[in-house]
Amino acid sequence: MTFNSLNYYGFDKDTHADCLDLIKSTDFRHMHILNLWFLGINVFFVICSYFNIFGLNRLKMGSYALFLGIAAIFEIIVIIFREKIERYAFLFVYLSILLLMIYSTVESTGSPYLAATMFLVMVVLVAVAYVDTMIKMTLMLTAYSVAFVLTSLRSKPQSVAYQDIYNIIIFLTLALVLHYAFQRARMQQYVTYQNNIRVKRELEVKSSFDALTSLLNRGRFFSMAEEVLRSAEDEYIAVCLLDLDGFKQINDKLGHQMGDKAIQIAGATITDTLGIDLSEKWSFTEKAIADKLSFAGRLGGDEFIALIRGKSGRDEVEPLLREMLDALNKVNFGDLHGIFASFGVTEIRAAGYDMDDVYNIADGALYESKRSGKNQIHFGDDAQGDSGNV
């Protein structure tokens, strides 16, 4: 086993980095649990000290009350500033560990004629609870143990201090072995979880997107569009059908590879013009609906469809589609000089439309574009009964 492998619990540095968000989340959750436990035991000790039971007397109540107050303040800060604290989870984990180590050391010196037990428990507890790196955890626990031993030598009889030294060597060794074993198992769980997420995302992409253009496939586009049309209230939406003109001639004269390239270029042009961000495809469908974004799909062959949101009306949609058409017409790739297309557009201004009806109106408008000479944009009837050529 290499040094790096040992440091990252049997995994490499890159794997550890991939799991860092999960590590922070786990450590933050465990920190919260340990602090609640710490808060609880100090409440218990304060009560016991007040009533002089279980060997605790009022002389120790001040110390317990102090740590109770610190734990309470820590908990309040965590609750109020949870989101910010999660970003710096490791810092607060280290502060929590420091608090536990100081507390258990103070608890030990409070009984100078007894070998320490609380510190030993805390060392093992911290080792089992937190994931970091093997080196950091080893150095941290060793440093705290050395500080504890020095405190014990100064405040306790020699025989008791030697017993503490013996105990801490045994428990520190046990803690580090358990830390490696527990955190290696956790890392394996994280890696498995990450792989499952990766597979899930790959399946989501394959089931939702067209392989050639990276646009949505027909089924996913229609399911998203239907959801949008059901829920849209007082929102202007335009649905545009786009069909390439003379695509058969491109295949016949330039070959099917150039035909595929024309389809790819058309898809990229639609994506760029509408400002569609497909960098995280696995979350795009949910994000597009939640954030009211435009999205587009390939229906098959050389036919495309787009649902445009975020515009106030035809006076904003028309220039956008004109920009898209002009970009297609200016394509110059090898023997492909210009891609020509016909557009058919449906305008929607209210919720409750059926996607099949919307598609049929856009298809009729597309037919008018073809009939009127191709390579143009035609708006079909909308909720207001308007229609017209562009």
pLDDT in tens, 247-283: 888 888 888 888 899 999 999 999 999 999 998 888 8
**pTM score over 0.75:** no
389 pLDDT exceeds 50? no
pLDDT in tens, 336-383: 889 999 999 999 887 667 888 899 999 999 999 999 999 999 998 654
Query: What's the mean pLDDT in 41-60?
Result: 85
- The pLDDT, as a whole number, for residue 387 is 44
Query: What's the mean pLDDT in 223-251?
Result: 89
Residue 359, number of CB atoms within 10 A of its CB: 18
Residue 283, number of CB atoms within 10 A of its CB: 12
How high is the mean pLDDT of the chain?
Answer: 90
- The pLDDT, as a whole number, for residue 123 is 95
Handedness of CA 13, 17, 18, 21 (dihedral sign): positive
- The pLDDT, as a whole number, for residue 254 is 87
Specify the DSSP class assigned to residue 46: H
Beta-ladder partners of 378: 344, 389
What are the extents of the domains in the chain?
3-204, 218-389
pLDDT in tens, 274-291: 999 998 888 899 999 989
385 band by pLDDT with thresholds 50, 70 and 90: very low
Both structure tokens of 250? 């491109």
Phi, psi (degrees; rounded to nearest 5) at 92: -75, -30
Fold that domain 218-389 belongs to in CATH: Alpha-Beta Plaits (3.30.70)
384 pLDDT exceeds 60? no
Distance between alpha carbon 87 and the CA centroid of its chain, in Å?
13
157 pLDDT exceeds 90? yes
| Rg for the chain, CA atoms, rounded | 33
Query: What's the mean pLDDT in 306-315?
Result: 93
Nearest C-alpha neighbor of 166 from the set 122, 120, 121: 120
- The pLDDT, as a whole number, for residue 1 is 59
- The pLDDT, as a whole number, for residue 383 is 44
- The 10 Å CB-count burial string (b at 16+, else e) for 150-165 is ebbeeebeeebbebbb
Determine the Cα–Cα distance for residues 203 and 194; give it in Å rounded to an integer: 14
- The pLDDT, as a whole number, for residue 55 is 74
2 pLDDT exceeds 60? yes
Distance between alpha carbon 133 and the CA centroid of its chain, in Å?
23
386 band by pLDDT with thresholds 50, 70 and 90: very low
Query: What's the mean pLDDT in 321-343?
Result: 92
The three-class DSSP label of residue 33 is: helix
- The pLDDT, as a whole number, for residue 382 is 58
Contact between 336 and 250 under an 8 Å Cβ cutoff? The reply is yes
Contact between 243 and 366 under an 8 Å Cβ cutoff? The reply is yes
pLDDT in tens, 62-79: 888 999 999 999 999 988
315 pLDDT exceeds 50? yes
Q: pLDDT: is 341 or 55 the higher one?
A: 341
pLDDT in tens, 76-107: 998 888 888 888 888 889 999 999 999 999 88
